[in-house]
Amino acid sequence: MSMGGPAIILVSPQMGENIGTAARAMLNCGLTDLRLVGPRDGWPNVKAERAAVGAFEMMPPVRVFEKTEDALRDLTYVYATTARDRKMVKPIVTARFAAAEAKERIAAGGRIGFLFGAERMGLVNDDVALADALLTVPLNPEFTSLNLAQAVLLVGYEWFQAGDTTPPSQLDTNGSPLATKEQLHAFFAHFERELDACGFLRNQEARPSMVRNLRNMWSRTHLTEQEVRTLHGVVKELTTLRVPRK
Amino acid sequence: MSMGGPAIILVSPQMGENIGTAARAMLNCGLTDLRLVGPRDGWPNVKAERAAVGAFEMMPPVRVFEKTEDALRDLTYVYATTARDRKMVKPIVTARFAAAEAKERIAAGGRIGFLFGAERMGLVNDDVALADALLTVPLNPEFTSLNLAQAVLLVGYEWFQAGDTTPPSQLDTNGSPLATKEQLHAFFAHFERELDACGFLRNQEARPSMVRNLRNMWSRTHLTEQEVRTLHGVVKELTTLRVPRK
């Protein structure tokens, strides 16, 4: 796990379970620098361990601080996550924008932190004033209640996506190569020969457009070599016992 | 809350709590069409109600089905969410791609569903085979365990972002307009006059670059009118009792 990613700083977290699920969400997103400011139920915490489902064993030790200032000392840019309007003159950014910006700041030598407040009240304004920007996750304005781990997950998710290279869309062919046009055309010929033989294409006027429609349907399915073989077999078996049309 | 958004279909969900937290995550993202296939602990479910923190009251009634096929009947395109490779020939898409694609399909008259499997095992292959595409959320490959509500949250989050128009970055000026250049230049003049008077700028060779550096610093802060007034006051008070330099 590469270090150097943003720090997640939980200020005055209350329930141990929430620290554990937040750690799990962090690790899901490749984040491992967890800092706690004044955790209500102390540290270490058995309930946090249990809720983390093994996440803490894959991260450096959690660091605990008395004051928010202390937890931010080595950082150069800090985002305060908040759902409420803070009446402060500060940039407000989305999670997606913050993730891309954080990547750039880190590339330029910066060290980034994301501040999260306590379960109920969120961050106090004096902590928000320590941050460089406010991070607000755009969500349904009629129902914004997010738990702590979910807020960490969404911020972490955007961080991971900002560095991820997964192709947005790909066809899994399960090891079988896609059929070549030649293989596809051979299947078309086999299929249409049998449709002629059974009389399905007997209307000579309609035949060209029916053939085109069927070819379009097969083309849209992006068949693999294996699937083309299966379809040859299907057509063959369907026609084996057929009595010739009179 | 606008209807017509994608349906979330939970197949064989086990714990009521997870159905409740999934519903909460849905509503966070503006999704309200929840369908359950064979919920283990029955429906309605008190634990689900409790975990939903009021979400069910803001959604149409949850529909329960015996078989996955039944839950999909009215849909035209279905994404099966899965973390594992299914050895099936099917498109694999990211959550972000799926969200954008779903928006387009709905605009074209389609009705979309996202299938989620049971807590431990995920979807069985026969259910996956009913879907049009596999949806896999790119996350840390060394720690992918996501709970059901978190998986629903990430898919729903991307859905919401795909239709969201929040500016990625904006400066909240708390009602005070940004200072005009004229106001800013007047402050520069006041500040530099006092720096001349106290002798801070007495090195005439260095003066131009020092002035430029200070002006750059103030420019980067994007001051509001209110802040410029505050700074005038600060400079005035700092210099009020000063004894003239000899």
- Concatenating the DSSP letter of every residue in B104-172 gives HHHHTT--EEEEE-BTTTB--HHHHTTSSEEE-----TT-----HHHHHHHHHHHHHHHT----SEEEE
Cα A128 to Cα B5: distance, rounded to the nearest angstrom: 35
Q: What are the residues whose beta carbons fall under 8 Å from the beta carbon of B143, sequence distance 6 or more?
A: A24, A27, A28, A55, A58
Cα B69 to Cα B124: distance, rounded to the nearest angstrom: 13
Q: Would you list the domain boundaries of chain B?
A: 4-162, 181-238
Q: What are the residues whose beta carbons fall under 8 Å from the beta carbon of B62, sequence distance 6 or more?
A: B19, B23, B34, B35, B36, B43, B56
Q: Strand B169-172 relative to strand B90-93: parallel, antiparallel, unpaired? A: unpaired
CA distance A66 to chain B (A): 30
Residue B1: per-residue pLDDT = 40
CA distance A205 to chain B (A): 32
Which one-letter DSSP state was computed for residue A84?
S
Query: How would you write the pLDDT of chain A (246 residues) with one tens digit per residue?
Result: 445 699 999 999 999 999 999 999 999 999 999 999 999 999 999 999 999 999 999 999 999 999 999 999 999 999 999 987 788 889 999 999 999 999 999 999 999 999 999 988 889 999 999 999 999 999 999 998 789 999 999 999 999 999 999 999 998 888 889 999 999 999 999 999 999 999 999 999 999 999 999 999 999 899 999 999 999 999 999 998 877 666
Cα B158 to Cα A96: distance, rounded to the nearest angstrom: 11
What is the ipTM for the molecules in this complex?
0.89
Cα A116 to Cα B115: distance, rounded to the nearest angstrom: 31
Cα B180 to Cα B162: distance, rounded to the nearest angstrom: 36
In chain A, the residue whose alpha carbon lies closest to the alpha carbon of B56 is A143
Q: Pick B97's closest partner by Cβ from A1, A24, A168.
A: A168
Residue B236: per-residue pLDDT = 94
Q: Pick A92's closest partner by Cβ from B87, B170, B227.
A: B170
Sheet holding A169-172, edge to edge: A169-172, B90-93, B133-135, B77-81, B112-116, B7-11, B33-37, B63-65
Residue B244: per-residue pLDDT = 67
Determine the 3-state secondary structure of A65 from DSSP.
strand
Residue contact A139–B28, C-beta within 8 A: yes
Give average pLDDT by consecutive 10-residue segment, chain B, 246 residues.
78 96 97 97 96 95 97 96 85 96 95 94 92 95 89 97 94 88 96 94 95 93 94 93 70
Residue contact B29–A140, C-beta within 8 A: yes
Most B CBs within 10 Å, among A143, A152, A221, A223, to test the B interface: A143
Contact present, A125 and A86 (Cβ < 8 Å): yes
Residue B45: per-residue pLDDT = 97
Residue A129 structure tokens: 């004033």
* Cβ-Cβ contacts under 8 Å, B171 against chain A: 89-92
Residue A172 structure tokens: 């899994």
Q: State the pTM of this model.
A: 0.90
Q: What are the residues whose beta carbons fall under 8 Å from the beta carbon of A157, sequence distance 6 or more?
A: A28, A29, A95, B137, B139, B154, B157
Cα A166 to Cα B137: distance, rounded to the nearest angstrom: 9
* Cβ-Cβ contacts under 8 Å, B90 against chain A: 171-172
Question: Among candidates A3, A64, A63, A60, which has minimal Cα distance to A30?
Answer: A3
The count of CB pairs under 8 A between chains A and B is 144
Residue contact A28–B171, C-beta within 8 A: no
CA distance B218 to chain A (A): 15
Residue contact A134–B172, C-beta within 8 A: yes
CA distance A232 to chain B (A): 18
Residue B2: per-residue pLDDT = 46
Q: Pick B169's closest partner by Cβ from A25, A97, A161.
A: A97
C-alpha dist (Å) from residue A124 to A68, A75, A84, A119, A228 = 11, 20, 11, 12, 64
Q: What are the residues whose beta carbons fall under 8 Å from the beta carbon of A69, sequence distance 6 or more?
A: A130
Residue B3: per-residue pLDDT = 53
Statement: B4-162 belongs to CATH 3.40.1280.10: yes
Cα A89 to Cα B228: distance, rounded to the nearest angstrom: 13
Question: Among candidates B54, B49, B158, which has minimal Cα distance to B98?
Answer: B158
Assigned CATH topology for domain A181-238: Helicase, Ruva Protein; domain 3 (1.10.8)
Residue B24 structure tokens: 């909460």
